[in-house]
Amino acid sequence: MKVYEVELTRKINIARDTTAFFFTKPLDFQFNPGQYLNLSLNNNKHFFSIASAPYEAEIIIETRMRNTVFKNSLKTLPIGSGVEIKGPFGSFMLHNNSNVRAVFLAGGIGITPFRSISYQAAKDNLPHKIYLFYSNRSPKDAPDLEEFKDLEKKNSNFKFIPTMTKVNASEDGEGERGYINKDMLTKYLSDLGKPIYYIAGPPNMVLGLRKMLNQAGVNDDIIRLENFTGY
């Protein structure tokens, strides 16, 4: 796998304790929406889903800023600094059959591969019907929340369903409440056994959603998983 040298161009806070990092994209770096890369910094390595879509000019990674050696190094990395990336890796990608709906189930920073897939699908005018269920504690904890609301307005094949689990009266009242569950899915999907499901987020959430789908009669053959460990 080829190693690329990229340069940090900017960094933006996109949610509570969450930052998007933008890097130059080498001309020969090609990837499919939903894939991830390995970033090397000060002799440490970390896997990140690529949040940017292939058509975008920069490579974007989005991450929760935990108090770890790697994250602290990334947080303080000066603009213009060079880092090494290796990749792309993974097969967490949108299926080819546009007659089958895609249902994305995301928790927190697990949204990143879905950002790449959804943005590219809109850019390419794909006919796939995509439903994105996006769970967070509150709007302040939800990266890309407003961007997905805007994408829904631009792409008639894209349905965005945000849900908040810990919202108080002073916060945004839009969307659903509580954790993603069978009742929430059936509110938007007529037959749970027909779409292909994609789940990304913390391991416990991924396992819980998979179990919920199984109990609802959804076969593992149409469930695809992406665990975010050590994020």
pLDDT (tens digit, 9 = 90+) per residue, 74-133? 999 999 999 999 999 999 999 999 999 999 999 999 999 999 999 999 999 999 999 999
Cα–Cα distance measured from residue 11 to residue 8, given in angstroms and rounded to the nearest whole number: 8
Res 76: pLDDT: 94
Res 92: pLDDT: 95
Cα–Cα distance measured from residue 152 to residue 118, given in angstroms and rounded to the nearest whole number: 10
Res 202: pLDDT: 87
pTM of the model: 0.94
* pLDDT tier for residue 231 given thresholds of 50, 70 and 90: low
CATH architecture under which domain 3-89 falls: Beta Barrel (2.40)
Res 229: pLDDT: 56
Quick one: DSSP state of residue 101? -
pLDDT (tens digit, 9 = 90+) per residue, 19-29? 999 999 999 99
Res 168: pLDDT: 63
Least Cα distance to 176 among 156, 162, 190 occurs for: 162
How crowded is residue 199: how many other Cβ atoms within 10 Å of its Cβ? 26
Res 169: pLDDT: 47
How crowded is residue 179: how many other Cβ atoms within 10 Å of its Cβ? 14
Cα torsion 215, 111, 223, 178 to 10°: value is 10
Res 166: pLDDT: 87
Res 226: pLDDT: 86
Res 167: pLDDT: 74
Residue pair 195/100 in contact by the 8 Å Cβ criterion: yes
* Domain extent listing, the chain: 3-89, 102-227
Average the pLDDT over 37-63 and give the result: 95
How crowded is residue 57: how many other Cβ atoms within 10 Å of its Cβ? 10
Res 171: pLDDT: 57
Cα–Cα distance measured from residue 40 to residue 85, given in angstroms and rounded to the nearest whole number: 6
Three-state DSSP class for residue 171: coil
Between the CA of residue 158 and those of 7, 39, 72, 75, 149, what are the distances in Å?
A: 33, 31, 36, 33, 10
Q: How high is the mean pLDDT of the chain?
A: 93
Res 175: pLDDT: 83
Residue 170, pLDDT above cutoff 60: no
Between the CA of residue 188 and those of 42, 47, 101, 159, 180, what are the distances in Å?
A: 46, 33, 12, 9, 12
CATH architecture under which domain 102-227 falls: 3-Layer(aba) Sandwich (3.40)
The 44-49 sheet, strands edge to edge: 44-49, 36-41, 82-89, 3-15, 18-24, 58-64
* pLDDT tier for residue 191 given thresholds of 50, 70 and 90: very high
